[in-house]
Structure 1
Amino acid sequence: FDGHARQILIDNRFRHLYVSDDAGYIHHYDIGNLRSPQYRGAVQVTDSGHVSEMVLLNGTVSIIAGTSDGQIRQYFPVRDARNQHDLTHIRDFARYEAPITHIEAEHSRRGFLVGDERGNLGIHHATAAADVFDAAKTEGPLARIAISPVNSLALFADENHQLQVASVSNRHPGVSFSSLWQKVWYEGSSQPRYVWQSSAGGEEFEPKMSLVPLTVGTLKAAFYAMLFATPLALMGAIYTAYFMSPKLRGKVKPTIEVMEALPTVILGFLAGLWLAPFVENRLPAVFSILILMPIAMLAFAYLWSRLPERLRSLVPDGWEAVLLMPIIILVGWICVTASPYVEILFFDGSMRQWLTDNGFTYDQRNALVVGIAMGFAVIPTIFSIAEDAVFNVPKHLTQGSLALGATRWQTVVGVVLPTASVGMFSAVMMGFGRAVGETMIVLMATGNSPIMNFNIFEGMRTLSANIAVELTEAAVGSSHFRVLFLAALVLLAMTFVVNTLAEVIRQRLRKRYGNL
């Protein structure tokens, strides 16, 4: 290259070599093969000066470059579409009013100290894009700066060779609003991302503690659980409270409420070890049941209504639901038995492979399994509260509706549901709160992968499960430890916001239907 080299850096893997020149450029060489090094190009750091100082941060991946016009910039190699590394500008830091003369990297973090020609000293953190500290420490230029191995003491000497020591209290520089809630461009990544990866085996590992994947995972688990549980629980509550005979209701309601006493660790154990492999091996059966079961029940109800009155009178009023049990068992058995043949006929022998070929990632422990298992745990909560709300609708309202010629179904839709809507909405919110805070089911029935999507065939990691897994391993007082407590606070805030919103809606419903 043209010009004169000012500084040369080599990473600790002897893969990348960087040369700064007096024209404001950093030149990048790939020296992985020392016999044939390759020139990978140059990046312009400044167009109004030169690179006065540059240093490799801990891990020797990122470069921090300071310029003669006071700029501080971070660069590191990023893979392009050809799988080649190109040196890329990542982020800028606060600009200094004088040329940068010294940069010193911290020993165990992605932080660094900066000194300029006027004696100003600054502390910055790369990942958090944070300007932690900035103050004038000497009257003239700094001759040398250094930081202790535990990043608690800063040493700087002026041009008169006077050494000063400053105590540094900067225990959690990597935790900021941007690192927790915004996309961060981490070393080795091709673009900014939301990532939760709190620990790894290497000493040079950089913790990645974005709470966004955990929050999304919490909402994802709750969404699929409520999608499965809400229709079953509410419809079951309406039928049990209004259409079912008192004797049968006295058996059904306690049975469902007993389901709530089943420990969630048992549900999670069964979901992870039995339900997940079952769903994986019989995917067509699962979706066939979800589609055909309602159709079969509606078809049976229609045929039952068309039977002669003398035949229908053989079944006591309110006991019709018992007749559905053989239908449910038969449809389930047909779907499971026909599943292999459906796979061969429509999915080339494997629905899971067919999903993969069409761009859908499939994990054995996924949101579908969690939705079924957690829905099973949430149903008793929603059912019990909603059933009480429907059953306690004043009798004079329903009897008045029937006396005016309305059918039982018209009475349910026009009188019972509006009156019981407050209680039913409360039941749904209680179920949602239970789903958001659930720990053991999502811990045992998912892969605990902190991913950012709502794909029903992939897993997730929730706030509560993450706290349960990592809190015992986090060092007391560390950034990781504090972020886990912050995650608990976020979970509390989510529940508080949802409950507050639910209360507002309940009050409006109560005002609207309270005079019925």
Structure 2
Amino acid sequence: MKNTSIAKDRLGKWRKAKDTAANITITGGGLAVLGAILLIFFYLLYEILPLFQSAKLELAERYEIVQTGESKSAETLYLGMEEQAEIATRLDGSGHITFFRTSTGEIVDSKQLPVGEGVDSFGLNSEQQPLMALAGGAGVLLAQPNYKISYPNDQRLITPVVDYPYGEALIDIGIPESSGGLIDTIAVRDGEEELVLIGKVDNALYGMRFIKEEDFLTEETVLIEEQLALPIIDIDINWIAIGSDQQWLYLVSKDGSFRIINLVTAEIIDRGRLLDTGTVTDFRFLLGGISLLVANDQGEIVQWFMVREDGKPPRLQKIRSFSSSDAAVTKLVVEHRRKGFIALSAESALAIFHTTSSRLLLEKTVAEDNRKIATLAISPRANALLTLDDAGGYSFWSLENQHPEISWSSLWEKIWYESYPEPDFIWQSSASDNDFEEKYSFTPLAFGTLKAAFYAMLIAAPLAVCGAIYTAYFMTPGIRRKVKPLIELMEALPTVILGFLAGLWLAPFFERNLAGVFAIFILLPFGVLLFGFLWSRLPKPIRLRVPDGWHAILLIPVVIAIVSGCVAASGLLELWFFGGDMRAWLTYDLGVSYDQRNAMVVGVAMGFAVIPTIFSIAEDAIFSVPKSLSYGSLALGATPWQTLVGVVIPTASPGIFSALMIGMGRAVGETMIVLMATGNTPVMDVNIFEGMRTLAANIAVEIGETEVDSSHFRILFLAAFVLFLFTFVVNTAAEIVRQRLRKKYGSL
């Protein structure tokens, strides 16, 4: 007895140790899963929080540059910096250009440009290509500051030079000698094939187009002159600007009146006012030469650009406005590589804006000792500012403004992008030129995600749930033991294989047999019901030969026959009902576009992938309903169908609902099938024959191309965070509904 008692004690202690170990392991595993989820959550936050930070501006150095002669008192016409923000350039009204170090003010080089007695007017091609047009007398000098980089003794050396790409002689723009006036306003626009110069003398416009041709023998570029015929203008011209495509000429007066001339036809194509109130204080192009920025004396900046609508002539359209204070805006400076700009007010306060995101990123007063800021420049990388006050003092600033293009509106609202006829939801993260306006709208991606999940669930949910009901409730145990593992085995098939088959085989198959495919969707349910009706009308001895639970086997040849018949008759169906081409009938008669890789293909392929998940969970939930409930219902006189509808399904409803939610989560997060079986175009169209792009597929496509820590890189992490939140919200809602269903039907 004593040995038996000792053995029982040892066995009890061993069982307790195993229970404790199991409890610790399970609890630790659960906590580890929760910890991993939290780590993912916080890592995503760590990557995306910099997107919404404001700009920071810090003073690095203040100094003055001692200059003599006319340069000391001459007006600053141009102030700029090179790529590294180490060397700055100043051009004054006397035609003197000075290069100096931004950190100390040390003069590196200084020279007089060959413009005669001085500069009558000044024009700049663009901040990206700072070709300067200096009007002196009746001619124009074209000069451009450049910076040569060398590495003597492994030390970077920047040597500033002045280039004259079209020679040091003044260029004639066709001003007659009888005019007797000076060019008081000048504009230049240089392109790969043409150079356009337009000047104003006493409110009369004169211009010249220079067509560039390469000499066959010397391989030098030769300019062929072409005089521009410009109309007489009925407003006082204070600003002249030439569009980047050299087609539009913009003329603006101080009172806000504008005229737009088509340089090809020499006709005025649009006229009006840029401002409702106030007067214009500055006017310039945004990056790319498409958008115009107009500032007034009331602190408002308005963005305009040309809009083309179908069947209508192009017109100048007001897009959006910006304001930081009521003080007059005295200077606008645009960024070199982004759609951002800086507004300097009469109170020497600067405000940094971004047009696409409509964000005010920073507002700060940058003058001291009652000085006023006369002009400023921003570095090409937008990481430094240089200001010049009215007393000749320079201030060099460090600027941090990494992700200005992101805001709630740019991610989720309609945005009017440059060259688009109207506001729209657009995702386009890259382009072939450097003047590209980033389009980071999540709306078409979220729409595509829900569209793909909807069509996948539309196919998978009824098939999986109905299959689970039949397998768990009506099928015999012998067949169930074969069918259930076979369907669950489908889940092991890699989705990349499904995507490959959907893109290369299923999509072309649907396109070739479109009428037959739709006939399958229509005729298959009716064919199964008709077979069931005819089977019920057969003599009882014949029906009793098939054991209970084996009737589903009889449907296999029926389904195969209907599918094969519909595919075989697809050509005849198209000929009878759609004139021989259903795709053309959809396009031309119904106006419904058809892409080979579309939502229907995705729905079928993703439905095939989601069915095993929903089926397995739902079947287990239905099969787990206590048999005593079913037997009790049958004993009380209910039919099997009444028992199924009134007892089994309500009791299993929490599990069925969980299966549907997990299946939906699988469909939302699916990547490879959507990536390979759709056109992968981020469009918003409910058309089942159009493709889409989902958030998950977008991450997979673009994450390998993006620069680390760039705005694009962090936005892809934001897309992952949106998917994470969506899954979290859906799972939370599903758990709440499941608990309520369990509480409601748990008493059955």
TM class, shorter-length: over 0.9
Matched, 1:48 2:280: no
Q: CA deviation at 1:157?
A: 1.1
One-letter identity of the residue aligned with 1:214 = L
Matched, 1:213 2:444: yes
Matched, 1:258 2:496: no
**Higher share in helix:** 1
Residue in structure 2 matched with residue 515 of structure 1 by the alignment: 747
User: Against the structure 1 CA distance between its residues 49 and 140, is the aligned structure 2 distance closer, same or farther, given a 3 Å change threshold?
Assistant: farther
Q: CA deviation at 1:2?
A: 3.7
Once the two structures are superposed, residues 274-322 of structure 1 have per-residue CA deviations (whole angstroms, 9 ceiling, x without a partner) of: 0000001111111111111111111111121222221111111110111
Matched, 1:12 2:241: no
Aligned to 1:364, which of 593, 596, 599?
Answer: 596
Residue in structure 2 matched with residue 420 of structure 1 by the alignment: 652
Residue in structure 2 matched with residue 375 of structure 1 by the alignment: 607
One-letter identity of the residue aligned with 1:344 = L
Aligned to 1:117, which of 346, 369, 372?
Answer: 346
Separation of aligned partners in 1, 2:273 and 2:363: 26
Separation of aligned partners in 1, 2:519 and 2:493: 28
Residues 438 and 464 in structure 1, CA contact (< 8 A), matched pair in contact too = yes
Once the two structures are superposed, residues 441-500 of structure 1 have per-residue CA deviations (whole angstroms, 9 ceiling, x without a partner) of: 000001100011221101110111110110011000100000000000000011111111
Residues 152 and 169 in structure 1, CA contact (< 8 A), matched pair in contact too = yes
Structure 2 residue matching 1:93: 3-state secondary structure:
strand
Residues 116 and 141 in structure 1, CA contact (< 8 A), matched pair in contact too = no
Separation of aligned partners in 1, 2:557 and 2:276: 80
Unaligned 5+ runs, structure 1: none
Residue in structure 2 matched with residue 88 of structure 1 by the alignment: 317
Residue in structure 1 matched with residue 511 of structure 2 by the alignment: 280
One-letter identity of the residue aligned with 2:465 = L
Q: CA deviation at 1:242?
A: 0.8
Residues 25 and 50 in structure 1, CA contact (< 8 A), matched pair in contact too = no
Once structures 1 and 2 are overlaid, which stretch shifts more, 371-380 or 1-10? 1-10
Matched, 1:434 2:666: yes
Matched, 1:454 2:670: no
Structure 1 residue matching 2:400: 3-state secondary structure:
coil
Once structures 1 and 2 are overlaid, which stretch shifts more, 15-24 or 165-174? 15-24
Separation of aligned partners in 1, 2:536 and 2:648: 23
Runs of 4+ in 1 over 4 A off after TM superposition: none
User: Against the structure 1 CA distance between its residues 53 and 276, is the aligned structure 2 distance closer, same or farther, given a 3 Å change threshold?
Assistant: same
Matched, 1:310 2:541: yes
Separation of aligned partners in 1, 2:298 and 2:326: 7
Separation of aligned partners in 2, 1:48 and 1:383: 67
Residue in structure 2 matched with residue 60 of structure 1 by the alignment: 289
User: Against the structure 1 CA distance between its residues 432 and 59, is the aligned structure 2 distance closer, same or farther, given a 3 Å change threshold?
Assistant: same
Separation of aligned partners in 2, 1:77 and 1:47: 19
Structure 1 residue matching 2:323: 3-state secondary structure:
coil
One-letter identity of the residue aligned with 2:286 = L
Aligned to 1:492, which of 719, 724, 745?
Answer: 724
Separation of aligned partners in 2, 1:208 and 1:429: 32
Matched, 1:482 2:714: yes
Q: CA deviation at 1:95?
A: 4.4
User: Against the structure 1 CA distance between its residues 2 and 22, is the aligned structure 2 distance closer, same or farther, given a 3 Å change threshold?
Assistant: farther
One-letter identity of the residue aligned with 1:181 = W
Residues 324 and 363 in structure 2, CA contact (< 8 A), matched pair in contact too = no
Residue in structure 2 matched with residue 129 of structure 1 by the alignment: 358
Q: CA deviation at 1:372?
A: 0.2
Once structures 1 and 2 are overlaid, which stretch shifts more, 426-435 or 405-414? 405-414
Residue in structure 2 matched with residue 249 of structure 1 by the alignment: 480
Residue in structure 2 matched with residue 198 of structure 1 by the alignment: 429
Residue in structure 2 matched with residue 175 of structure 1 by the alignment: 406
Q: CA deviation at 1:44?
A: 1.7
Separation of aligned partners in 2, 1:15 and 1:214: 36
Q: CA deviation at 1:120?
A: 1.4
Once structures 1 and 2 are overlaid, which stretch shifts more, 132-141 or 223-232? 132-141
Residues 53 and 66 in structure 1, CA contact (< 8 A), matched pair in contact too = yes
How many pairs are equivalent?
513
Separation of aligned partners in 2, 1:48 and 1:83: 28
Residues 119 and 137 in structure 1, CA contact (< 8 A), matched pair in contact too = yes
Residues 117 and 140 in structure 1, CA contact (< 8 A), matched pair in contact too = no
One-letter identity of the residue aligned with 1:451 = V
Q: CA deviation at 1:142?
A: 2.4
Once structures 1 and 2 are overlaid, which stretch shifts more, 16-25 or 173-182? 16-25
Unaligned 5+ runs, structure 2: 1-232
Structure 1 residue matching 2:465: 3-state secondary structure:
helix
Residues 335 and 341 in structure 2, CA contact (< 8 A), matched pair in contact too = yes
Residue in structure 1 matched with residue 178 of structure 2 by the alignment: none
Once the two structures are superposed, residues 242-278 of structure 1 have per-residue CA deviations (whole angstroms, 9 ceiling, x without a partner) of: 1111111111111100000000000000000000000
Separation of aligned partners in 1, 2:279 and 2:571: 69
Aligned to 1:391, which of 620, 623, 630?
Answer: 623
Structure 2 residue matching 1:474: 3-state secondary structure:
coil
TM-score by length of 2: 0.68
Residues 354 and 360 in structure 2, CA contact (< 8 A), matched pair in contact too = yes
Separation of aligned partners in 1, 2:619 and 2:309: 59
Identical columns (%): 54
Separation of aligned partners in 1, 2:605 and 2:377: 56
**Higher relative contact order by CA 8 Å / sep ≥ 6: 1 or 2?**
1
Larger CA Rg, structure 1 vs 2: 2
Separation of aligned partners in 2, 1:480 and 1:515: 53
User: Against the structure 1 CA distance between its residues 69 and 323, is the aligned structure 2 distance closer, same or farther, given a 3 Å change threshold?
Assistant: same
Structure 1 residue matching 2:637: 3-state secondary structure:
coil
Structure 2 residue matching 1:235: 3-state secondary structure:
helix
Separation of aligned partners in 2, 1:187 and 1:438: 33
Separation of aligned partners in 1, 2:628 and 2:320: 70
Residues 217 and 461 in structure 1, CA contact (< 8 A), matched pair in contact too = yes
Q: CA deviation at 1:83?
A: 4.5
Residues 118 and 140 in structure 1, CA contact (< 8 A), matched pair in contact too = no
Structure 2 residue matching 1:510: 3-state secondary structure:
helix
Separation of aligned partners in 1, 2:304 and 2:517: 50
Once the two structures are superposed, residues 183-230 of structure 1 have per-residue CA deviations (whole angstroms, 9 ceiling, x without a partner) of: 111001011111000011111111111111111111110000000000
Aligned to 1:28, which of 246, 251, 260?
Answer: 260
